[in-house]
Homo-oligomer: A and B are copies of this chain.
Amino acid sequence: MLNKNIETFLGFDAEYQESSFVVFGAPFDSTTSFRPGTRFASKVMRSESFGLETYSPYQDADLTDYRLFDGGDLELSFGNTERALEQIEQFTAKILDDQKIPCMIGGEHLVTLGAVRAAAKSYPDLHVIQFDAHTDLREDYLDQRLSHATVIRRVWDLLGDNRIYQYGIRSGDRPEFEWAAKQHVFMNKFNFDGLEDTVQELQGKPVYLTIDLDVLDPSVFPGTGTPEAGGVSFMDLLTAILTVSNLNIVACDVNELSPVYDQSGVSTAVACKVVRELTIALNKKL
């Protein structure tokens, strides 16, 4: 009762040493050109996660069955993008070095680049599965090469062809779609059709899973910077997560919740439930 006030994500009550799975926040949105606010996501999710239960009736399993650690939020350099990515890379590398699975809560999607850099060092054969409404494949955006709109292109710079699998894509400019069509990345538009095949293909490979929550329809997830109509339902996303959990996922992230645009709190509740289900799905396999 008279210890310092500790605040962690629901069910993430283990110490670092004993844990196998580490959640942390990357509160950064400096390159967001349209509507900022994803910097608040991890803090708000920690607080609101207590509206959820620890038990998943979908998987008949409970967060309390596993040893989960919450490392809090990184203090990132606003306005200095490259420095912020280094901070993320360093923190992710530490977790990977300690043989744990990092699960980063964004922030804008650019934060993924920092974590993928770390994962690609640990796992040179890294593959990336991306659930997203947007391609994020631009070469540059508003004169910048490091941006939420270029992040997967930067990941491709790092990993090369045949390593990236995109699902749910429904927005981008024409050159992005054309570039993708040249088979630099595998892109499945609009939904999760074909995800089973990808899972077959990637058996045994190390996989980084990045979930941009705007893959969900804005009716389900209004609280995001760039809502894009025509997305998937929560049950679609849940099924997709359970499907890919059969792979060797070595690191993951969940990003683009912007609580500022989530007045009713439903998007935050969805984001928390995604983290719960993802955590349970990945820990069941360990």
Q: List A residues at the B interface (Cβ < 8 Å).
A: 1-8, 15-16, 29-37, 39, 43, 46-47, 50-55, 57-58, 60, 62, 69-73, 75, 77-81, 83, 91, 94, 142-144, 146-147, 169-174, 177, 189-190, 217-220, 222-223, 226-230, 234-235, 238, 260-266, 269-270, 273
Determine how close the nearest CB of chain B comes to the CB of A97; give it in whole angstroms. Answer: 12
Contacts of A47 on B, CB cut-off 8 Å? 43, 47
Contacts of A222 on B, CB cut-off 8 Å? 264-266
Contact A174 B55 (CB under 8 A): yes
Contact of A2 among B7, B16, B57 (CB under 8 A): B16
Known contacts A6-B6, A77-B144, A79-B146: does B57 contact A265 (CB below 8 Å)? no
Contact B6 A5 (CB under 8 A): yes
Contact A220 B223 (CB under 8 A): no
Contact of A7 among B6, B29, B54, B143 (CB under 8 A): B6
Please, which residue of chain B has its CB at the minimum distance from the CB of A143?
B77
Contacts of A72 on B, CB cut-off 8 Å? 4-6
Please, which residue of chain B has its CB at the minimum distance from the CB of A110?
B79
Q: How many copies does the complex hold?
A: 6
For the complex, give the distance between the alpha carbons of A270 and B265 in Å. Answer: 18
Contact of A227 among B7, B75, B170, B266 (CB under 8 A): B266
Interface of A is mostly: loop
Contact A142 B75 (CB under 8 A): yes
A-B contact pairs, 20 of them (CB 8 A): A2-B16, A2-B71, A5-B7, A5-B73, A6-B7, A35-B51, A36-B36, A36-B39, A51-B227, A53-B173, A55-B172, A58-B170, A78-B147, A79-B79, A217-B234, A218-B269, A220-B229, A227-B266, A229-B266, A230-B238
Contacts of A223 on B, CB cut-off 8 Å? 264
Determine how close the nearest CB of chain B comes to the CB of A84; give it in whole angstroms. Answer: 9
Contacts of A36 on B, CB cut-off 8 Å? 29, 36-37, 39
Contact A228 B142 (CB under 8 A): no
Contact A189 B57 (CB under 8 A): yes
Contact of A6 among B4, B52, B227, B230 (CB under 8 A): B4
Contact B5 A15 (CB under 8 A): no
Please, which residue of chain B has its CB at the minimum distance from the CB of A39?
B36
Contact B31 A78 (CB under 8 A): yes
For the complex, give the distance between the alpha carbons of A34 and B131 in Å. Answer: 29
Contact A173 B55 (CB under 8 A): yes
Determine how close the nearest CB of chain B comes to the CB of A269; give it in whole angstroms. Answer: 5
Which of A43, A71, A218 has the most C-beta atoms of chain B within 10 angstroms of its own C-beta? A218
Contacts of A3 on B, CB cut-off 8 Å? 16
